Structure 1
Amino acid sequence: MRSSEEADGVEGEAAGASMMSAAGSPYQPTTEPVLPGRRLHLRCDTDYLRSSFGLLKLLQVLLALIAFICIETVKECLPCGGLYLFEFVSCTAFVVTGVLLLMFCLNLHTKVPQINWNLTDLINTILSALLFPIASIVLTAMNHKRSGEIAALVFGYLSSAAYLLNSYLAVRVWRLSDRRPAAVQASEYTRARSESRGEVEGRPEVQRLDE
């Protein structure tokens, strides 16, 4: 009997010691879930490319790129101020508009909500619509009738027309969206008033109390 009791006591002490050692061990298994890594899913938004703004932006990128390539073929200039200005405007418009096209086409603008991408696009469009005609006019007054300069001027004026049209449409959409909340609020206020009147009419006991 004693031997069995002593054996049970030894086993209990061993179990308690193992539990204490497990509790004090720094190498305990963690129960924190392993979070899967975030993946960036890229998907081409064909609806945006088929829209008027998507087509205009794609046209702007192509025209600005061709204008920049044409002006780069000119190897001699004197004076070179008009050429340098046109080169800067066409290159900047191509890069910035191309980046915005990729952001909207691949829905990357939704990943960075801290930036107002619509306002950024509007500012870029308006600036390009102002700078492209200025650069084209200056190059027209200071060119040397070379084929590269003439080709660059043709695509420069076409780019100016594309940016001007995009600016007109963007400002029009912005003005309509700016007016819409007031109309929506007015309609919601009118509907709320009509609903409240309907509730009062549907409750005769309230009318009796008011009378």
Structure 2
Amino acid sequence: MRTTEESEGFDGEASNTSMISGANSPYQPTTEPVHARNVLGGLRCDMEYLKSYFGILKVVEVLLSFIAFICIETIMMCSPCGGVYFFEFVSCSAFVVTGVLLFIFCLNLHTKVPHINWSLTDLVNTAASTLFFFLSSLVLACINHSKGAEIAALIFGFLVTGVYGVNTFLAVRRWRRGSGCQAPQASDYIRARTASRGEMEARAELA
């Protein structure tokens, strides 16, 4: 007959054994989800993109748009103010949109959303920025009062227009190359489907 001390001893040994086996078990809970680690580890700056023509142009566009926006913001009095407000809106919008695209391309976030045609998105942004920067700079040139801030904004406006124009030209070439590469792939797929369908019909007739 076991005594109370013996039973307590066995219970203590059992609890210690379970604790040791639990500590040595490979199935330990973790406080950091594996998915979170993969997401955070996958965000890396693509230095190759920053060294490419498109990366350099994007950085220059963001800087020039920001400088042009700062210059137009320093104008305290204007008459008429429509051209100033238009230039302010264009420079701010170009800075934000181009900055977001630069951020997406640098971190390769566009690869996470493959169903969006990013080449066409970049082309539309650069073409629209070129057009609106040219129009806003032209309007500002017609109504400026030879003030230092207006002249500085005008200079940077035409500079960033030229940079956006070069980017638009390169984006059009890239988009055409991409469209040309996708067309043969689609035609090859159609031919393969037609050939496989013909083979299946021939086998059905032989059977």
Query: Do both share a fold (TM > 0.5)?
Result: yes
Distance 1:63 1:46 in 2: 21
Deviations 1:25-58 (A, max 9, x none): xxxxxx9x98634233321100000000000011
Partner of 1:116: 117
Partner of 1:197: none
Distance 1:138 1:94 in 2: 19
Partner of 2:162: 161
Partner of 2:52: 51
Partner of 1:83: 84
Partner of 1:176: 177
8 Å contact 2:134–2:161 — kept in the other structure?
yes
8 Å contact 2:119–2:171 — kept in the other structure?
no
Q: What residue ranges of structure 2 are gaps of 5+ in the alignment? A: 1-26, 193-207
Partner of 2:40: 40
- Taking only the aligned residue pairs, the percentage that are identical comes to 58
Secondary structure, aligned partner of 1:44? coil
**Could you say which structure has the larger radius of gyration?**
1
Deviations 1:144-191 (A, max 9, x none): 1100000000000000001111001110111122223445678x79xx
Partner of 1:5: none
Distance 2:183 2:105 in 1: 28
How big is the shift at 1:111? 2.6
**TM-score normalised over the length of structure 1:** 0.68
How big is the shift at 1:114? 4.3
8 Å contact 2:122–2:171 — kept in the other structure?
no
Distance 2:70 2:144 in 1: 16
Partner of 1:8: none
Q: What residue ranges of structure 1 are gaps of 5+ in the alignment? A: 1-30, 193-211
Deviations 1:72-119 (A, max 9, x none): 111000000000000000000000000100000011222333433322
| Residue pairs, 1:58-69, within 5 angstroms | 58-69=59-70
CA shift in 2, pair 1:175/1:93, >3 Å:
same
Partner of 2:100: 99
Distance 2:178 2:113 in 1: 22
Distance 2:183 2:108 in 1: 29
CA shift in 2, pair 1:180/1:113, >3 Å:
closer
Matched positions, count: 158
| Residue pairs, 1:142-161, within 5 angstroms | 142-161=143-162
Secondary structure, aligned partner of 1:70? helix
Partner of 1:22: none
**TM-score normalised over the length of structure 2:** 0.69
8 Å contact 2:71–2:153 — kept in the other structure?
yes
Distance 1:55 1:87 in 2: 24
> Which deviates more, 103-112 or 89-98?
103-112
